[in-house]
Amino acid sequence: MAMVKTAVVASLKGGTGKSTVTANLGRAFHRKGSQVGLLDVDATAPTLHKALGLAEAPRWETNAAEQMIIPYQVDDLYVVTMASHYGENPAVLWDEPTLIRAMRELNALVKWPQLDYLFLDSPPSSSKFMQELYDCLSDLYGIVLVFQPSDIAVADLVRTIDFIRIKRAPVVGLVSNMAVCISPKGEKFWPYLSPRVDIGSVCEEHGIPLLGEVPLTSLQAKVDAEFDKIADRIENTKPIVLTDDLATRLCKAIARRAVEAVIRRI
Amino acid sequence: MATITEMLFNFILEDKAMHMATLMELSPEKRLAVVGRKGQIIVTGSQGGVFIVRLTPVGIFREEDDSDLRNEVLMDYDTLREIIIWLAQLGAPRDSKDPGLDPRSAYANGYIRISGDKVLYDAEEIFAALEKHAFMKMQPIAKHALAAMRKAAKDG
């Protein structure tokens, strides 16, 4: 039986579009004929189901005989989110040990069908929770980094790379999300006040695959086309483990590009 | 003198017809899985109480022995009071000034703690059974309990 490839969609910065990327990755791999599971492990602010177009996450179904949780299906994707458990509105005020225990349970309690890929939508955090998540994913295939190519996002990309280096987790590559805005008329523009940083060349210099540059647009066909390419690259990429040296050089290069981007704006 | 929580639980535990009706609404697999389970409910505060209960084929019964507990549910009396206020208004226009608190929100907010070996699974089963089967049957009890609570509060 083929092993499921488990990938964490990660960024220490909030608002980079991890849930949207997770949903689109799921759809892209499904279009390629893969069986895909999506697990939202952002226990305090789960939004994956929203990215899949659901106003509300359906309640969990349980298998009484095996005492397991059954994923619900959205567009033939198998989905599990904590939003099903406590609803859409309440603030989740669990202490960290409780969150960690819940995450460990969730990883063990879901009765997934035979999957080719399982994508985990993770919270923007380097907390003990995230450290434990990587520790309990013994069969982790790799991390898909999600970042915007803006100066303000770069500081957190450096921190994310340092976190991954410490955890010795393999990296599949980086998705440059909301890389450019495309209007309904097809006009391209940079929508942010923060200067644009050329993350692609940094990735290229240091051997981290740039998986794709996803536009911010309502033209879903353009987004789908980019994610189809990203899915191809993920399939054909061997994840790399960042050595101390590579991570340090990468962080310095990203910081340098950010400074250059700011100087160009002066 | 019995606390308000004890009076409320005694009401609920006496209603074997409600237990049986709820049990019969479960799927045969689920019924088989849950019958025999034993849990402890602890409500803290001067109006609280401790209850060890077991689900049997003929209803829920109170026990004294605290061995073999599958789950422990812990909350304070104020949380129970909020849940009863919420339950008393179920299916009716909610009082915007005093809407109460639904059990899942109380759990997410950390006002209800559930322990056990499979907390997520068990919590989901408990909430689902209450929502799908028991809440509407418990509503008359909640209305009586709310009236008793308000009277007790007024009497000081």
Per-domain boundaries in chain B: 4-151
pLDDT of residue A49: 97
Please give the helix or strand (H or E) that residue A93 lies within, else none: none
Q: How far is B156 from chain A (nearest CA, A)?
A: 32
Given the cut 0.85, state whether the ipTM is greater than it.
Answer: yes
Q: What is the pLDDT along chain A (266 residues), one digit of tens a residue?
A: 568 999 999 999 999 999 999 999 999 999 999 999 999 999 999 999 999 999 999 999 999 999 999 999 999 999 999 999 999 999 999 999 999 999 999 999 999 999 999 999 999 988 899 999 998 888 899 999 999 998 888 778 888 888 888 888 999 999 999 998 999 888 998 888 888 888 888 787 777 899 999 999 999 999 999 999 999 999 998 999 888 777 787 788 888 877 877 777 66
Give B148 or A230, the one with higher predicted confidence.
Answer: A230
Q: What is the pTM of this model?
A: 0.91
Per-domain boundaries in chain A: 5-265
pLDDT of residue B36: 95
Q: Give yes or no for residue B148 having a pLDDT over 90.
A: no
User: A92: which chain B residues are within 8 Å (Cβ-Cβ)?
Assistant: 108-109
Cβ A22 vs Cβ A144: under 8 Å: no
Cβ B132 vs Cβ B89: under 8 Å: no
The residue of chain A nearest to residue B125, with distances taken between CA atoms, is: A62
Q: Which residues are registered as beta bridge partners of A63? A: A68
pLDDT digits (tens, 9 = 90+) for B47-78: 999 999 999 999 999 999 999 999 999 999 99
pLDDT of residue B156: 66
Report the distance separating Cα A159 and Cα A162, nearest Å. Answer: 5
> Which CATH number applies to A5-265: 3.40.50.1980, 3.40.50.300, 3.90.640.10, 3.40.50.150?
3.40.50.300
Q: Within an 8 Å CB–CB cutoff, is residue B1 touching chain A?
A: no
Of the ranges A135-149, B103-117, B123-137, which is most confident?
A: B103-117
Which of B124, B126, B133 has the most A C-beta neighbours within 10 Å, making it the best mutation to test the interface with A?
Answer: B124
Report the distance separating Cα B47 and Cα B130, nearest Å. Answer: 23
For the segment B110-138, the average pLDDT, to the nearest whole number, is 92
CATH code for the part of the protein at B4-151: 3.30.1050.10
Contact B108 A92 (CB under 8 A): yes
Between CA A184 and CA A192, with CA A186 as vertex, the angle to 5 degrees is: 80
Structure tokens at B14: 């006496």
Structure tokens at A191: 């929508």
Among the partner residues A64, A68, A105, nearest to B119 by beta-carbon distance: A105
User: B100: which chain A residues are within 8 Å (Cβ-Cβ)?
Assistant: none
Report the distance separating Cα B56 and Cα B20, nearest Å. Answer: 9
Q: How far is A45 from chain B (nearest CA, A)?
A: 11
Q: How far is A83 from chain B (nearest CA, A)?
A: 10
Q: Within an 8 Å CB–CB cutoff, is residue B152 touching chain A?
A: no
pLDDT of residue A227: 98
Which of B70, B120, B124, B132 has the most A C-beta neighbours within 10 Å, making it the best mutation to test the interface with A?
Answer: B120
- Average pLDDT of chain B to the nearest whole number: 92
Contact B118 A109 (CB under 8 A): yes
Contact B121 A106 (CB under 8 A): no
User: B117: which chain A residues are within 8 Å (Cβ-Cβ)?
Assistant: none
Q: How far apart are the first and last CA of chain B?
A: 15
For the segment B83-87, the average pLDDT, to the nearest whole number, is 94
User: A98: which chain B residues are within 8 Å (Cβ-Cβ)?
Assistant: 110, 113
